[in-house]
């Protein structure tokens, strides 16, 4: 890793986002990913709304989300093995090309009135590229900074993901008023993958001694590691529960907006609501590596789940756009405040040579189970409305706030706390 910053009397705080940004290679990748994620979230706003507008069915949107995110469940483990076995730079560049190609296909289809299945096929291709990319990407990022700055790097990565949730919908809202088409948004997203490719080709990704495990055990090693480390196991299972029962509202957002707040999914208000939620998510992720960087991450996890439960409760009871905007902002904040804290604790307890395979489980739990929640709740929303789903989401998060007492778990298993890995 290369730190090109000049030492000054005003050194950034250890573990802060500012300290991570001083590292040239991390900074280059970070800015490249900001552009790419912005394009991705433009597409993520436009495509579900486009499908819901054409079909009027939350269940169909749920199937679309399964096409996009389902590959995370089935491909994350082999992708994690690849991340720990092969040249990460070459693999990551290849996966950007895959996603770029299918995004171009999606854009070309949207020039006309394509059958829904064709859109699903293109979205599925993008999802495959994302699933094969995600473990290697998350395993690569910590290697670009010193371990002491890991929390800042993870917070910044979360900020990119969620800052793009703000910028993407805003761009869509503004340019839609100027006549921009669905296809044009998809073409823009395809072009943004070039930014990441450029960044990856111009940074040094440190190598490491690969784990010698061979055969099928390479696929199951992540499970074994998670099973033997109580905190990692607890957090992955909690994240899986959170994804399945608390996060389906994200993929079903067009239906939630329409049925709960009477906000038209193709109108500007919907896009601004999505951007407001994304702004909260951005600030929540950033807060972990800035305002709260000095606080024990284990405590932040519990605070985040409790905050998510409370704000989701008020979000569910909102009757009009204004309270929906307010509670939506804090809902987004709590969402990524929580997941960023969880990711930081997990990463700090993993050696570089096994990160890819364990993080594969993370992405299976985070993204891979969300589509199943969408497929389950989608038909229920079509029949009964969305408030019931939102209240279940709130209750689940409240349970997880109690369940994720990591400090108590470390006291119960002091020899397996893994705190030394963070130093």
Q: What is the pLDDT of residue 354?
A: 74
Q: Does any domain span residue 275? A: yes
Average pLDDT over residues 111-132: 91
Q: Is residue 5 predicted with pLDDT exceeding 50?
A: no
Range of the domain at 333: 17-206+213-422
Q: Does any domain span residue 103? A: yes
Q: Does any domain span residue 83? A: yes
- Summarize pLDDT for 368-418 with one digit per residue, the tens: 788 888 888 999 998 888 999 999 999 999 999 999 999 998 888 775 555
Q: Is residue 329 predicted with pLDDT exceeding 50?
A: yes
Other C-beta atoms lying within 10 Å of the C-beta of residue 349: 20
Q: What is the pLDDT of residue 108?
A: 94
Q: Does any domain span residue 11? A: no
Q: Is residue 7 predicted with pLDDT exceeding 60?
A: no
Q: Does any domain span residue 341? A: yes
Average pLDDT over residues 105-131: 91
Q: Which backbone phi and psi does 310 adopt, to 5 degrees?
A: -65, -50
Q: How far apart are CA 101 and CA 193, in angstroms?
A: 10
CATH of the domain at 243: 1.20.1250.20
Q: Which backbone phi and psi does 253 adopt, to 5 degrees?
A: -55, -40
Q: Does any domain span residue 240? A: yes
Residue of 410 and 221 predicted with greater confidence: 410
How many structural domains compose the chain? 1
Q: Does any domain span residue 365? A: yes
Q: How far apart are CA 342 and CA 91, in angstroms?
A: 26
Mean confidence (pLDDT) of the chain = 83
Q: How far apart are CA 397 and CA 334, in angstroms?
A: 11
Q: What percent of the chain has pLDDT over 90?
A: 30
Write out 382-406 in H/E/C secondary structure.
Answer: HHHCCHHHHHHHHHHHHHHHHHCCH
Q: Does any domain span residue 1? A: no
Average pLDDT over residues 358-369: 78
Q: Is residue 259 predicted with pLDDT exceeding 50?
A: yes
Size of the chain, expressed as the number of residues it contains:
423
Average pLDDT over residues 300-304: 95
The listed range with the strongest mean pLDDT (18-22, 246-250, 348-352) is 246-250
Residue of 339 and 356 predicted with greater confidence: 339
């Amino acid at each position: 890793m290369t730190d090109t910053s000049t030492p000054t009397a005003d050194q950034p705080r250890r573990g802060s986002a500012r300290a991570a940004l001083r590292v040239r290679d991390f900074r280059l990748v970070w800015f490249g990913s900001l552009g790419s994620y912005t394009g991705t979230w433009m597409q993520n706003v436009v495509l579900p709304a486009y499908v819901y507008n054409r079909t009027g069915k939350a269940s169909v949107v749920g199937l679309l989300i399964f096409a996009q995110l389902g590959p995370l469940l089935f491909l994350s483990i082999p992708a994690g093995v690849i991340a720990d076995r092969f040249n990460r730079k070459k693999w990551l560049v290849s996966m950007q090309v895959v996603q770029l190609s299918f995004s171009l296909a999606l854009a070309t289809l949207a020039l006309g009135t394509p059958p829904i299945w064709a859109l699903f096929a293109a979205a599925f291709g993008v999802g495959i590229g994302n699933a094969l990319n995600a473990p290697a990407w998350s395993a690569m990022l910590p290697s670009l900074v010193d371990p002491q700055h890991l929390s800042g790097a993870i917070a910044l990565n979360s900020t990119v993901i969620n800052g793009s949730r703000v910028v993407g919908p805003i761009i869509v809202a503004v340019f839609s008023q100027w006549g921009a088409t669905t296809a044009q948004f998809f073409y823009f997203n395809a072009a943004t993958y070039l930014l990441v490719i450029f960044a990856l080709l111009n940074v040094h990704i440190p190598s490491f001694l690969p784990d010698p495990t061979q055969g099928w055990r390479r696929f199951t090693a992540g499970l074994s590691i998670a099973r033997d480390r109580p905190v990692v196991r607890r957090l992955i299972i909690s994240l899986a529960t959170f994804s399945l029962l608390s996060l389906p509202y994200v993929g079903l957002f067009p239906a939630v907006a329409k049925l709960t707040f009477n906000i038209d999914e193709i109108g500007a208000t919907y896009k601004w609501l999505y951007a407001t939620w994304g702004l909260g998510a951005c600030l929540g992720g950033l807060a972990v590596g800035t305002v709260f960087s000095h606080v024990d991450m284990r405590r932040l996890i519990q605070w985040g789940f409790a905050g998510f439960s409370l704000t989701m409760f008020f979000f569910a009871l909102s009757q009009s756009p204004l309270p929906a905007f307010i509670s939506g902002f804090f809902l987004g904040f709590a969402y990524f405040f929580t997941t960023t804290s969880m990711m930081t604790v997990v990463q700090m307890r993993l050696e570089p040579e096994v990160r890819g395979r364990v993080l594969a489980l993370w992405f299976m739990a985070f993204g891979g189970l969300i589509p199943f929640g969408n497929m389950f709740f989608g038909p229920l929303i079509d029949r009964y409305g969305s408030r019931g789903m939102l209240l279940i989401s709130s209750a689940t998060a409240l349970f997880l706030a109690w369940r994720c007492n990591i400090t108590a778990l470390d006291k119960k298993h002091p020899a397996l706390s893994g705190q030394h890995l963070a130093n």
